[in-house]
Amino acid sequence: MDSTRFPDDLVQTQHAWNATYQALAAPRPRDNTVLRRRLLRLSVRLWWHPYWNTATSVSAARTRLRQSVRAQESARVV
């Protein structure tokens, strides 16, 4: 288990980003423009979150965040 503890708001933002990306990737998404704008807003929030100022290796931490959130999402589905 990864010992990295990410802030709750950062994890929630990554969950929202994943959900928005999935909605946008669906065939013929409704509200395409709204989804694209939401994805951009969420991307900015993720990129500029203050947590990254404290991370030792930002690129590795970003990867761990994405992997951790995907694992949580797949655990919910099962």
**For residue range 15-67, what is the model confidence (pLDDT) as tens digits?**
999 999 999 999 998 899 999 999 999 999 999 999 999 998 999 999 999 99
**Rounded Cα–Cα distance for residues 46 and 21 (Å):** 14
13 within 8 A of 45, measured Cβ to Cβ: yes
**For residue range 65-76, what is the model confidence (pLDDT) as tens digits?**
999 999 999 988
Residue type, 43: S
User: Following DSSP, what letter does each residue of 41-59 receive, concatenated?
Assistant: HHHHHHHT-GGGGT-SSHH
> What pTM was estimated for this model as a whole?
0.89
